[in-house]
Amino acid sequence: MNVQTILDQKDTPNVVTIEPERALQDAVERLVEHNIGSLVVVDASGKPVGIITERDILKTCANGCEKLATTKVADAMTADLIVGETGDAIDYVMGIMTKNRIRHLPIVTEDGLCGMVSIGDVVKVQRQETEYENRHLREYIERGY
């Protein structure tokens, strides 16, 4: 099973993005509006240049939330973007996310940004796969194929 499997099952396939010159307040509003935990930061051509997460915003707010209106997304985002590809195996993606302690992984193709996978998406697919395997094994043992 690979990342494309997750993207095909997602209810909301579109990735919510924001531009680096926007204020953090705009990012907060977009996160709340879409009930999500991160935004991919894209340049004018739509190329991913970073990611802004709830945690990044909280760090900025630690000494006062009034900074949200004046701080740009570019000043708070993680610019060293870790991405996955549609053909990546689920186990590989889980390893990357665990190793780097990230909860959201933008997915790219040669055409650009095509999706976002959360750790919850990965766990859900792995759980489904495990349930299927367990059921198959139980049937095998009970029926003695």
Say whether pLDDT at 85 is over 90.
yes
Pick the CATH number of 3-143 from 3.30.70.260, 3.10.580.10, 3.40.1190.20, 3.40.50.11740: 3.10.580.10
Q: Model-level pTM? A: 0.83
Tens digits of residue pLDDT in 4-35 = 999 988 876 689 999 999 999 999 999 999 99
Residues 19, 49: Cα–Cα separation, whole Å: 9
User: Alpha helix locations (H) across 86-118?
Assistant: 90-100
Between the CA of residue 110 and those of 43, 107, 118, what are the distances in Å? Answer: 16, 11, 21
Kindly list the domain boundaries of the chain, sorted by start residue: 3-143
Phi then psi dihedrals of residue 27, to 5 deg: -65, -45
Tens digits of residue pLDDT in 87-136 = 999 999 999 999 999 999 999 999 889 999 999 999 988 887 777 677 77
